Amino acid sequence: MKRILTLALVVIMAGAAMKAQDLPQEFIDPPREFSVMPFWFWNDTLNDDEIIRQIADFEAHGVYGFVIHPRIGLPADVKWLSDEMIRVMHVAIREAEKRKMYVVLYDEGMYPSGSSAGQVVERNPAHAARGLAKIDLKAGEEPVLAQGMKLITVINRPSADRVAVVERPSGGVIRGLHYLNEGEQRLREFSPPAGDILNPEAVDSFIELVYDKFYKEFGKYFGKTVLGIFTDEPSPLGRGGTRGVVPGNAALIPQINRILGYDITPFLADLWYADNPDSRKHRADYHRAINICLEENYYKRLGSWCYNHGLALMGHPAGSMDIGTERYFQMPGQDLVWRYVEPGPKAIEGQHSTMAKCASSAMLHLGYRRNSNELYGAYGHNLTWEEMLWLANWCFVRGHNLLFPHAFYYSIRGPRFDERPPDVGPNAKWWNDYKPYADACSRLSWLNTDSRQVCDIAILCEATYLPDKPAKTLYRNQKDFNYLEFRHLWEDVKVTSKGIKIAGMIYKALIIDTLSHVPEQAVLVLNKIAKKKHLIVRSDSKVLPWFKGAMMYSSPEDLINAVNKITDADLVASKPSPGLRYRHVVKDGQHFYMIFNEEEAEVNISINLPLRGIMKWVDPYTLETSPFTGQELISFKPHEIKLLMISDAK
């Protein structure tokens, strides 16, 4: 029997070798840095042998890295970054080093990041999260300030009413690591106070408590076994704070005024009221400036620390459209959670539909190598294997090259089973079939790394707003694109007759859709782009100046016609195929088209490509290949992904 099994294994291996013939060796067996790296919830009593056993189990299933994520459910005597927590972290990191696996450290005792599980506020109560609030006043009335409040200004509103604007504690908290009453029907969690991440001194304290401690304990692994530190959806106000409080504090006013170029103080009432003609503008200006304060006071500090210590700042901002803050991550990231995206309209409509292009575009234009997505979180116990594959492919065809599956559970005892489910790893029913999925993710991550994207369309965006409507039109017509944030126009874009050059890309079309403002620094560059016939502008964009030479559009059909006039066709389907997405990259001299049927209907088409060469279809899951002449009718089953490799392309 043993000899029969051995012979069968030889036959299987020989078949795999035949399937993989002429494929790049690193595609067949990618370096381990391209592995999925799941959140590993440390959520119960931690045992050294069990930690080592689970790491070995990860490796056996094609998972070669993980995020150590201390999580709700830890014993009450295991505090955040206590001696015991540090000790078991050493156990896991040493085992990963031994197995040539990778580790990402998580910077908080749950989330959102920036509080060190309440230690920032414990060290200095003045560093608790704060915000601005209003106190409505009657004629002649003076504001009465409660404890902890600070008066910023009193404003006479157009209605003759008066309002006092004050700084006050937000009352926000973060999720903690411990159940307060495990075993009872109605669970309560310990919720430490949130730190003021808009305050540079509070952020310095956070860095000292967490990042410096990580370096002291694990510094010898930095840049080798430990690839980065994960910061998770930082929030200036924390969770569950007082209603009506707006991010900010009195000390930020000079910073906000510098960013805006005018004094915002007389207009602060516009944060709550719309009775001034320019209320909307002042409110948008204020929040835009607060976002830049958050960049400068939080993200920039963390990103610089990581850069100076030889590893990457990983993780993601709070918003799916927050592309501005991505510049401070050495690995820009996003968060696919709470069923934000599913097959159907949500895949290409709304703010969350933009998140993958947010991170991959930031990576490209900022010159970084990797970008990531934390995905599957809180998709529920009803998440299916098919949905899991679909979500991964949704990410890959949009340019992601590292997936952080959320999550692998150390324990599913008691309430842990239902804490932000599902477990998508060892405790899932598909665990025995996981390796082909893990291998395919590694291959597609490898393909999206150190490759050149073939794409000549960009959509102009703001630091916190990425237009989704033109993106939807492009997706449905097999037009790939990237988002270009405003600041690149005056920082590193070069405009020529051939196109808009940045980071090795040449965009022949820049699309402007609905935007809240156009910075003065951008107008000169946009005029130049329009003059060179590379600008396409939505005709009802009210905030835009007139750009002479720009092409105008008012409908999806107009947009596609304009794009077709000034860009090169890269993939043309024989008939309308609104559910088909694609990505074209060149790696090591070979061209790869990743084509994904994102919708439920089967698609049967032929495709016209500008390239000829030795073409073959490659299944990233099985490595099976089949020839392609370029003339055949191709069938895409619902939610099927195909990879077309072209060698000796001409």
Neighbours of 31 (CB within 10 A): 12
* Backbone angles phi and psi of 445, in degrees to 5: -65, -45
What lies within 8 Å, CB to CB, of 96 at 6+ separation is 55, 65, 66, 102, 103, 225
pLDDT in tens, 177-203: 999 999 888 899 999 999 999 999 999
CA distance 626 to 634: 12
Cα-only R_g, the chain:
26
Residue 514's pLDDT is what? 87
Three-state SS letters, 219-262: HHHECCCEEEEEEECCCCCCECCCCCCEECCHHHHHHHHHHHCC
Asked whether the predicted pLDDT for residue 288 surpasses 80, the reply is yes
Say if residue 358 is in the same domain as residue 396: yes
CA distance 153 to 166: 7
Q: Where are the beta strands (DSSP E) in 275-316?
A: 312-316
Residue 497's beta-bridge partner residues?
none
168 Rama sector, left if φ>0, alpha if ψ -120 to 50, beta otherwise: beta
Looking only at the bridges linking them, the beta strands covering 226-232 and 312-316 are parallel
Of all residues in the chain, what percent carry a pLDDT higher than 90? 88
H or E stretch covering 134: strand 130-137
Expressed as residue numbers, the domain containing 512 is 454-568
Instruction: Give how many domains the chain has, as a whole number.
Output: 3
Tokens at 252, concatenated: 């930020």
CA distance 348 to 459: 15
CA distance 179 to 78: 12
Say if residue 371 is in the same domain as residue 489: no
Residue 91's pLDDT is what? 98
Say if residue 208 is in the same domain as residue 342: yes
Say if residue 356 is in the same domain as residue 491: no
3-class secondary-structure state, position 443: helix
Tokens at 212, concatenated: 């410096």
Say if residue 349 is in the same domain as residue 376: yes
Section 356-383 average pLDDT: 98
Tokens at 72, concatenated: 């709700």
Tokens at 248, concatenated: 């900010």
Total count of residues recorded for the chain: 650
Residue 4's pLDDT is what? 34
Domain boundary, last residue among 549, 568, 587: 568
Section 348-368 average pLDDT: 98
Domain boundary, last residue among 536, 568, 600: 568
Residue 14's pLDDT is what? 40
The answer to whether residue 281 is domain-embedded is: no
The answer to whether residue 182 is domain-embedded is: no
Say if residue 408 is in the same domain as residue 446: yes
Pick from 364, 279, 288: which is nearest to 319 by CA?
288
pLDDT in tens, 533-577: 999 999 887 667 778 899 999 999 999 999 999 999 999 999 999
pLDDT band at 7 (very low <50, low <70, confident <90, very high): very low
Domain boundary, last residue among 546, 568, 590: 568
Helical H segments across 487-591, by residue range: 487-491, 520-531, 556-566
CA distance 533 to 536: 8
Residue 20's pLDDT is what? 61
The answer to whether residue 163 is domain-embedded is: no
Asked whether the predicted pLDDT for residue 138 surpasses 90, the reply is no
pLDDT in tens, 404-457: 999 999 999 999 999 999 999 999 999 999 999 999 999 999 999 999 999 999
Tokens at 503, concatenated: 């980071």
Asked whether the predicted pLDDT for residue 345 surpasses 80, the reply is yes
Per-residue b or e along 330-363, where b marks 16 or more CB atoms closer than 10 Å to that residue's CB = bbbbbbbbebbbebeeebbeeebbbbbbbbbbbb
Asked whether the predicted pLDDT for residue 647 surpasses 70, the reply is yes
What lies within 8 Å, CB to CB, of 571 at 6+ separation is 478, 582, 584, 593, 595, 607, 608, 609
Say if residue 493 is in the same domain as residue 633: no
Asked whether the predicted pLDDT for residue 11 surpasses 60, the reply is no
Residue 10's pLDDT is what? 36
pLDDT band at 13 (very low <50, low <70, confident <90, very high): very low
CA distance 246 to 268: 11
Asked whether the predicted pLDDT for residue 166 surpasses 50, the reply is yes
The answer to whether residue 187 is domain-embedded is: no
CATH for 594: 2.60.40.1180
Say if residue 387 is in the same domain as residue 459: no
pLDDT band at 3 (very low <50, low <70, confident <90, very high): very low
The answer to whether residue 155 is domain-embedded is: no
Asked whether the predicted pLDDT for residue 9 surpasses 50, the reply is no
Residue 524's pLDDT is what? 93
CATH for 524: 3.40.50
Tokens at 303, concatenated: 């990103």
Of all residues in the chain, what percent carry a pLDDT higher than 70? 96
**Which letter does DSSP use for residue 609 in this model?**
-
**Which letter does DSSP use for residue 179 in this model?**
B
pLDDT band at 19 (very low <50, low <70, confident <90, very high): low
* Backbone angles phi and psi of 93, in degrees to 5: -70, -40
Pick from 96, 116, 97, 98: which is nearest to 106 by CA?
116
549 Rama sector, left if φ>0, alpha if ψ -120 to 50, beta otherwise: left
Say if residue 337 is in the same domain as residue 375: yes
Residue 335's pLDDT is what? 97
The answer to whether residue 384 is domain-embedded is: yes
The answer to whether residue 475 is domain-embedded is: yes
Longest CA–CA span in the chain (Å) reads 97
pLDDT band at 16 (very low <50, low <70, confident <90, very high): very low
User: Does residue 211 contact residue 312 with C-beta atoms inside 8 Å?
Assistant: no
CA distance 249 to 132: 6
Tokens at 104, concatenated: 């990402």
Three-state SS letters, 138-163: CCCCCCCCCCCCEEEEEEECCCCCEE
Section 110-117 average pLDDT: 97
Say if residue 343 is in the same domain as residue 389: yes
The answer to whether residue 139 is domain-embedded is: no
Q: Give me the chain's average pLDDT, please.
A: 94
Pick from 438, 345, 347, 362: which is nearest to 399 by CA?
362
Say if residue 528 is in the same domain as residue 610: no
Residue 168's pLDDT is what? 96
Neighbours of 233 (CB within 10 A): 18
Say if residue 233 is in the same domain as residue 375: yes
